[in-house]
Amino acid sequence: MVRDTAKQGVSVIAIHKDTNKIVGVSLNKIQHKNTASNEYNKMFIEKAKYKETKTVLEFMAHWEDSVDPFTPNNADCLMELVFLGVLPEFSGKGIGYTLSAVSLRLATKLFKGENVKTSLDGTELPLEPRPQVMTSLFTTVKTQKIGKKLNFDILATVSYKSLFYEGKSYASIIGNETELISIECKRLE
């Protein structure tokens, strides 16, 4: 999934200058209104080796298809921040925020017609389709703070108490630090 998503050329990585080590990533994808998340995620769900991975992908596809960021924003294309991760030893240094802000700037440049996509193999990627909105499922307090700081609008929330895995609520599995998932959107300007 990571490689296939990265092939779209809109993901962002943070590299430690001294060691040249990747310390964070914002995995982003472009999605057209006519392509449901279930379709996009289907091949990854089928290939998933672990039940936990399959469950997360099914959850993401369900909520992405349940909330419509297109119609209220008169949009036909979005860029989604699919995954934001920073190595634990680099946590708390603003890397997650910076990756998210750079991803938002990248989406804005695409919206304005500037082809800033970067392919994995050096070939030129097409500009179209261009996103009009950026979305994300913010799953932690930290990422929800990033969404707020970047002025994302909350479209919907889901309590971890109402989500279950093998008979246990996610709230009981992950603890009380984060109470909910927020599905958020920002119109590009």
pLDDT at position 75 over 90: yes
Rounded CA separation 86/95 (Å): 7
For the whole model, what pTM was predicted?
Answer: 0.88
pLDDT at position 87 over 80: yes
Q: Are 84 and 96 in contact (CB under 8 A)?
A: yes
Domain segments of the chain: what residues?
Answer: 2-132
**Matching residue, tokens 């889901």:** 158
Q: pLDDT tens digit string along 114-137?
A: 999 999 999 999 999 999 999 999
* For residues 41-54, average pLDDT: 75
* 22-32 sheet: strands from edge to edge: 12-15, 22-32, 77-86, 133-138, 180-187, 153-159
pLDDT at position 62 over 90: no
CATH level 3 topology of 2-132: Aminopeptidase (3.40.630)
Q: Which distant-in-sequence residues (6+ apart) come within 8 Å of 36 by Cβ?
A: 61, 65
pLDDT at position 35 over 60: yes
Better-scored residue on pLDDT, 68 or 149: 149
* For residues 52-63, average pLDDT: 74
Q: Residue 41: its pLDDT value, please?
A: 65
Q: Are 175 and 122 in contact (CB under 8 A)?
A: no
How far lies 182's CA from each of 91, 118, 137, in Å?
Answer: 21, 29, 6
Rounded CA separation 28/81 (Å): 5
Confidence of residue 37 (pLDDT cuts 50, 70, 90): low
Q: Residue 163: its pLDDT value, please?
A: 73
